[in-house]
Amino acid sequence: MLANQQNVHTSLPPQEKVSILVVSPDPEDQTALRRILHHSNWAISQCANAADALEQVHSTVPAVILCERELPDGNWKTVLSACENSPDSPLLLVTSKTADENLWAEVLNLGGYDVLMKPFELGEVTRVIGMAWRQWFTRSLRQSIISTAPPQRFSAHIA
């Protein structure tokens, strides 16, 4: 499992700070994720409810969000909706003690990235967050290239 964890971190550029937002009212979730990710170059912010998450999504623009299934003032869908309207929209991972196929299918069908089962396992957390970040980074890079590319001019030559 350690080799898997090291592969995730070595594949990320060392100068790149990966911004992660943890949305959970459970202090144990926040502590567990900080413990798992403490050795990484990932910048972790946290909040306990949907209202604070919406504010952070627009002010800090995280790459990846880990959001508890149910929040005191909403749920993961509330946070996902805010992400869709955000520039460089973050990828959302739903966390739950009761993750099942129905939740996983719902998350994927509505545009979430994946589901993480609790209690968190070091290898699974680092693997899934690493994959989500790479997908977010690749998408952002592609959008950046497209938006800065000069317009193409096509002409047809008939011989």
Q: Is 66 helix (H, G, I), strand (E, B) or coil?
A: strand
Cβ contact 20:37 at 8 Å: yes
pTM for the full predicted model: 0.81
For each of the domains in the chain, give its residue range(s) and CATH number, in order of start.
14-137 (3.40.50.2300)
Residue 47 tokens, joined = 């909040």
What is the torsional sign of CA 116, 117, 122, 124?
negative
Q: Which pLDDT band holds residue 147 (cuts at 50, 70, 90)?
A: low
pLDDT band with cut points at 50, 70 and 90 for residue 18: confident
Residue 136 confidence (pLDDT) above 70: yes
